[in-house]
Amino acid sequence: TRVLTTIHEYGHYLDHHLVPEKVGILGSFATHGISTTLSVGGKVNGLMTTIKSSKTIEKLRTYLHDINSRSWTLYALTDKELFARAYSQYIAKKSGNKQLLQELAIRQPKEPVDSWKLIYDQWDDVDFEPIMGRFDDLFRELGWLKEK
């Protein structure tokens, strides 16, 4: 999933650069509640609330009790990781790029959330719909999304 991973890493870059006056200052990420404007901050907060309340993330939290997956789960549930994974999925879905969608499909759940046999770090399409809308809102606010 090398292309999707590249988009994920760009998500970290974007998270850091949504706060232009703080670029270069260690730990200054929009997902940490630092924002240039109230409107952008509100959109980021709304996005993160939607991400954290998704069924996928609720299910991931249940793995915190498993000693074999606790360390990875703690990392996967950090705001900057949640943002980057959601951003990569947003770009895959929004672009419709065949390779990105194939790579995404490998990392998406194959069964309903309540019957996972493996730990997945991406959302199924239905669970991701509200997150897509929140990214659209954020990018519209920033002037990065053109209306059709």
pLDDT beyond 80 at 22: no
Rounded CA gap, 61 and 136, in Å? Answer: 26
Length of the chain counted residue by residue: 148
pLDDT tens-digit map of 64-93 = 888 888 898 899 999 999 999 999 999 999
pLDDT tens-digit map of 25-61 = 555 567 766 555 556 777 888 899 999 999 999 988 9
Rounded CA gap, 23 and 128, in Å? Answer: 29
Give pLDDT, residue 88.
97
Distance of CA 13 to the CA centre of its chain: 13
The tokens for 48 are: 């993160």
